[in-house]
Amino acid sequence: MARHLTLDLNDPADEAEARRLLGLAGKPAQKRAPQQPAGSGGGHYCLALDGHTAAANELLDSVKARCRLKKRDRIAVGEAAARAGIAPATGKRRVRLTVLVGPGKRRPDPDAFWKSLLDAMAACGLLVNDSTA
């Protein structure tokens, strides 16, 4: 899932907008206990999204579409990180992406979802920087 715009998920208006864009407006928010205490370094975190971030080919459309998709991604990643209790990054983190493809679906390019995912993680504070250096 993807869209672009910084939102404060602690602000009720922004949270309502995020839930509306994700199609969760009528559903109660899920509360999950953190898998690991906040601030503990070196742990493994799992960030599960209901859907996928924007593919690289989708980001080649118009500027308006790209902004809309990246905003959707930031909201989805931010909400999933809040549910999972993932602490903000203080140093380098390694990211592994697993995409599950349903039966009869075409496999995406291996790098299709990376750009929007890393940008969304950096915008939400889950990564200090999304560069490889």
pTM more than 0.85: no
pLDDT digits 0-9 by tens, 53-82: 888 888 888 999 999 999 999 999 999 888
State how far the Cα of 102 lies from the Cα of 90, in Å rounded to an integer: 36
Provide the residue ranges of all domains of the chain, joining segments of one domain with +: 12-123
